[in-house]
């Protein structure tokens, strides 16, 4: 096993961050081994792959760091958001905020983002635009709650919603999308070059992957997770569940109708303009799903008679959920292991790297430790774009705080350090924290604290019981409006009208295209 080692702190900026990743993290990102991009091109690297850069790429347009996050938030302008948030191309017509990488890594927490939306309202931005944006923020919060409560998805070998067991495996060396289709190629290119996409083009890629190609959603989720700067298990998994139809609605089948509406002009320049594979939605997928919807309860979702004690989980793969203490972590700073010792350092994680991280803010004099988790990164093989983004963030933080960067196993680096840390709604962190035993844990900055009495699992249970289909993901879409009502405190009328349509409400209804 390789010994942990402390790494030098890079100077701020993209170039230094790229060099840092190439020098210290080689072998821990996917571009060091993959030769071909998802769209079939050779990697179009932002910097030519000099041997000294070991294939490192960085996002073309998104820079890491609290300063960049603050600038992006200062530029938030929600005018026209409701109508245009799904606009894909030309880029100048987009209304999406592009804040997600900063939200994902805790440089903008959701309470702060919510406050910024109130400011927009006071500045005269149309309430319809602001409420629409707020609903999307709630989706982010909801997906975090549901992931925290139920982190394990359905098994890889499980029969998926379109009725097949997919054997194709994720392979970074083979094209994932049909590059002859202009819409897919452009979206795949943006995913790889920028590490960020508007929600709609994520849905195009995901729909093509899971519904048209019949690949397994988990492999697609992994691909997105590797390339997105905002890649999170929570929102990513919810997105794939919605698109594939596992979340209790019809699958989203993207079509030329969407592309012409949200990317005008793109089809005219596409090689397949007269031979468009998505001219109509995929009739066979719709048919399969209709057939399945007519069946009372799919075999895979039935609870076997000898299944043992009742637990809660995804279709065909049930796990324990701890309802006893809720799943939101502490509400106040605590000393989880009863230690009397004061912390000597703040441990920050990729979930929470902002200046306002509660542990960081509570200990302004302490040094900060970040560990690039070598075993985890070796397994995940993320894109170097994400590693550059994280490095830029650390270099920026180091201009304000004594920041120490390590490479190795966090357990080994941190076992003998008295750390203060922010509780994180991610199972991997919780496992790690049990080994690291921080002396002080600060609450996660929820927008709405999960409550054990209004527990998400119970909400989902109720919904799935209503439809006599057991399983967590099945209730995801319908669960949102209940969650808005019971956890986020919305009125039932507001929850019913605003919440449900938000995910795919303004997408192509399948019937409209045919
Ligand atoms: C297949 C698929 C995978 C996705 N993977 C991720 C992911 O890994 N990480 C991630 O943060 N989002 C993911 N999303 C959700 C959404 O597409 C992105 O949050 C959004 O596109 C980010 O861009 P933005 O910040 O400009 O969003 P805006 O439209 O400006 O919205 C502002 C914020 O609201 C939240 N938000 C908006 N839409 C959603 C949504 N559908 N679900 C959850 N939160 C939302 C995000 O925090 C976003 O930053 C995924 C969606 C799909 C369909």
Q: Are residues 13 and 63 in the same domain?
A: no
Domain CATH code at residue 443? 3.40.50.620
Q: Is the beta carbon of 236 within 6 A of some atom in ligand 1?
A: yes
Using left for φ > 0, alpha for ψ between -120 and 50, and beta otherwise, residue 54 falls in left
Q: Whose Cα sits closest to atom 37 in ligand 1?
A: 136
Q: Are residues 465 and 408 in the same domain?
A: no
Does residue 303 lie within any of the structural domains?
A: no
Q: Is the beta carbon of 232 within 6 A of some atom in ligand 1?
A: yes
DSSP 268: G
Instruction: Quote the number of domains for the chain.
Output: 2
Of 402, 428, 447, the position where a domain reaches its end is 447
Instruction: Name the band, by pLDDT with cuts 50, 70 and 90, for residue 479.
Output: confident
Q: What's 4-62 look like in SS3?
A: CEEECCCCCCHHHHHHHHHHHCCCCEHHHCCCECCCCCECCCCCCCCHHHCCCCCCCCC
Q: Please tell me the distance from the alpha carbon of residue 469 to that of residue 302, in angstroms, as a whole number.
A: 8
Of 395, 420, 447, the position where a domain reaches its end is 447
Asked if 488 and 135 count as a contact pair (C-beta separation under 8 A), the reply is no
Q: Residues 6 or more apart from 30 whose CB is under 8 A from it? A: 172, 226, 381, 382, 383, 384
| Residue 335, pLDDT above cutoff 70 | yes
| Residue 212, pLDDT above cutoff 90 | no
Of 412, 428, 447, the position where a domain reaches its end is 447
Q: Are residues 278 and 376 in the same domain?
A: no
Q: Is the beta carbon of 207 within 6 A of some atom in ligand 1?
A: no
Q: Please tell me the distance from the alpha carbon of residue 204 to that of residue 385, in angstroms, as a whole number.
A: 22
Q: Are residues 467 and 426 in the same domain?
A: no
Q: Whose Cα sits closest to atom 36 in ligand 1?
A: 136
Does residue 53 lie within any of the structural domains?
A: no
Atom of ligand 1 nearest to the CA of 143: 43
Q: Is the beta carbon of 140 within 6 A of some atom in ligand 1?
A: yes
| Residue 489, pLDDT above cutoff 80 | yes
**403-408/5-7 β-pairing:** antiparallel
Q: Are residues 163 and 277 in the same domain?
A: yes
- Residue closest to 214 by CA, chosen among 259, 253, 267, 247: 253
* Mean pLDDT (whole number) for 185-213: 93
CA 385 from chain centre, in angstroms, equals 15
* Each residue's pLDDT tens digit, 434-457: 999 999 999 999 999 876 544 555
Q: Please tell me the distance from the alpha carbon of residue 177 to that of residue 210, in angstroms, as a whole number.
A: 11
Q: Please tell me the distance from the alpha carbon of residue 465 to that of residue 483, in angstroms, as a whole number.
A: 16
| Locus of tokens 């970074």 | 172
Does residue 319 lie within any of the structural domains?
A: no
Q: Residues 6 or more apart from 332 whose CB is under 8 A from it? A: 443
Structure tokens at 80: 């026209």
Per-residue pLDDT at 443: 94
Residues spanned by the domain of 170: 59-294+454-514
Per-residue pLDDT at 45: 38
* Mean pLDDT (whole number) for 344-370: 98
Backbone angles phi, psi at 363, to 5 degrees: -130, 65
Centre of ligand 1 to C-alpha 235, Å, is: 7
User: Which among 100, 103, 111, 224 is the best mutation to test ligand 1's pocket, defined by most ligand atoms within 8 Å of the CB?
Assistant: 100
Q: Are residues 258 and 235 in the same domain?
A: yes
More confident residue, 161 or 327: 327
Q: Is the beta carbon of 502 within 6 A of some atom in ligand 1?
A: no
Residue environment code for 168-189, b if the CB has 16+ CB neighbours within 10 A, otherwise e: eebebeebbbbbebbbbbbbbb
| Residue 505, pLDDT above cutoff 70 | no
Q: Are residues 434 and 380 in the same domain?
A: yes
Q: Which of 100-114, 374-388, 493-507 has the lowest mean pLDDT?
A: 493-507
Widest CA span in the chain? 72
| Residue 37, pLDDT above cutoff 50 | yes
* Each residue's pLDDT tens digit, 286-304: 655 554 444 433 333 333 3
Does residue 43 lie within any of the structural domains?
A: no
Q: Are residues 65 and 187 in the same domain?
A: yes
* Mean pLDDT (whole number) for 238-257: 82
Q: Are residues 489 and 423 in the same domain?
A: no
Q: Are residues 344 and 482 in the same domain?
A: no
> In sequence order, what E strands does 409-449 have?
419-422, 440-442
Strand partners, 348: 370
**419-422/440-442 β-pairing:** parallel
Does residue 35 lie within any of the structural domains?
A: no
| Residue 41, pLDDT above cutoff 50 | no
**403-408/368-373 β-pairing:** parallel
Q: Are residues 79 and 134 in the same domain?
A: yes
DSSP string, 59-115: -SS---SHHHHHHHHHT---TTHHHHTT--SSGGG------HHHHHTTSS-HHHHHH
Instruction: Name the band, by pLDDT with cuts 50, 70 and 90, for residue 164.
Output: very low
Q: Please tell me the distance from the alpha carbon of residue 300 to that of residue 315, in angstroms, as a whole number.
A: 7
Per-residue pLDDT at 462: 52
| Locus of tokens 């509660």 | 358
Lay out the sheet containing 419-422: strands in order across.
Answer: 5-7, 403-408, 368-373, 345-348, 419-422, 440-442
User: Which among 139, 199, 351 is the best mutation to test ligand 1's pocket, defined by most ligand atoms within 8 Å of the CB?
Assistant: 199
Q: Are residues 483 and 443 in the same domain?
A: no
Give whole-number Cα distances, 436 to 157, 329, 336, 433, 463, in Å.
34, 17, 11, 5, 38
Asked if 38 and 226 count as a contact pair (C-beta separation under 8 A), the reply is no
Q: Residues 6 or more apart from 508 whose CB is under 8 A from it? A: 253, 254, 255, 257, 258, 281
CA 172 from chain centre, in angstroms, equals 20
Does residue 172 lie within any of the structural domains?
A: yes
Q: Is the beta carbon of 239 within 6 A of some atom in ligand 1?
A: yes
Centre of ligand 1 to C-alpha 417, Å, is: 36
Does residue 376 lie within any of the structural domains?
A: yes
Centre of ligand 1 to C-alpha 194, Å, is: 15
Does residue 235 lie within any of the structural domains?
A: yes
Asked if 129 and 292 count as a contact pair (C-beta separation under 8 A), the reply is no
Structure tokens at 166: 């997919």
């Amino acid at each position: 096993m390789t010994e942990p080692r402390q790494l030098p702190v890079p100077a701020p900026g993209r170039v230094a961050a790229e060099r840092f990743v190439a020098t210290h993290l080689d072998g821990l990102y996917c571009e060091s081994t993959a030769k071909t991009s998802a769209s079939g091109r050779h990697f179009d690297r932002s910097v030519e792959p000099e041997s000294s850069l070991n294939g490192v790429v960085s996002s073309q347009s998104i820079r890491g760091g609290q300063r960049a996050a603050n600038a992006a938030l200062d530029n938030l302008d929600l005018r026209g958001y409701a109508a245009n948030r799904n606009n894909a191309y030309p880029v100048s017509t987009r209304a999406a905020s592009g804040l997600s990488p900063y939200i994902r890594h805790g440089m903008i927490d959701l309470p702060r983002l919510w406050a910024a939306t109130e400011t927009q309202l006071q500045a005269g931005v149309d309430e319809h635009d602001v409420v629409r944006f707020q609903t999307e923020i709630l989706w982010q919060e909801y997906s975090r709650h549901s992931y925290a409560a139920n982190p394990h998805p359905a098994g890889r070998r499980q029969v998926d919603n379109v009725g097949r067991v997919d054997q194709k495996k994720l392979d970074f060396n083979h094209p994932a999308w049909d590059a002859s289709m202009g819409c897919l190629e452009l979206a795949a290119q943006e995913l790889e070059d920028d590490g960020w996409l508007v929600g709609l083009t994520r849905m195009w890629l995901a729909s093509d992957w899971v519904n048209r190609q019949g690949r397994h959603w988990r492999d697609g989720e992994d691909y997105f997770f590797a390339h997105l700067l905002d890649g999170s298990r929570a929102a990513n998994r919810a997105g794939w569940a919605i698109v594939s139809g596992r979340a209790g609605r019809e699958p989203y089948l993207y079509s030329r109708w969407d592309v012409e509406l949200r990317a005008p002009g793109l089809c005219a320049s596409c090689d397949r303009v007269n031979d468009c594979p998505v001219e109509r939605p995929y009739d066979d997928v719709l048919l399969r799903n209709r057939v399945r919807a007519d069946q009372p309860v799919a075999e895979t979702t039935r609870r076997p008679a000898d299944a043992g004690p009742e637990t809660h989980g995804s279709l065909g793969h049930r796990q324990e959920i701890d309802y006893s203490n809720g799943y939101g972590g502490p509400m106040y700073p605590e000393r989880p292991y009863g230690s009397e010792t004061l912390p000597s350092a703040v441990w920050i994680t990729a979930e929470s790297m902002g200046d306002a991280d509660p542990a960081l803010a509570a200990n302004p004099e302490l040094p900060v430790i970040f560990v690039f988790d070598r075993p985890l990164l070796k397994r995940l093989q993320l894109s170097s774009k994400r590693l550059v983004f994280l490095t830029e963030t650390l270099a920026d933080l180091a201009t304000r705080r004594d920041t120490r960067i390590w490479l190795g196993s966090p357990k080994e680096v941190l076992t003998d350090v008295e750390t203060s840390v922010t509780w994180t709604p991610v199972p991997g962190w919780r496992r790690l924290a049990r080994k690291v035993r921080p002396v002080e844990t600060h609450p996660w900055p929820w927008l709405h604290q999960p409550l054990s009495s209004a527990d998400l699992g119970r909400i989902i249970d109720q919904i799935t019981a209503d439809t006599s289909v057991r399983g967590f993901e099945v209730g995801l879409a319908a669960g949102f409006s209940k969650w808005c009502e019971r956890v986020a405190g919305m009125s039932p009328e507001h929850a019913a009208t605003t919440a449900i349509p938000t995910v795919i409400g303004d997408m192509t209804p399948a019937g409209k295209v045919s």
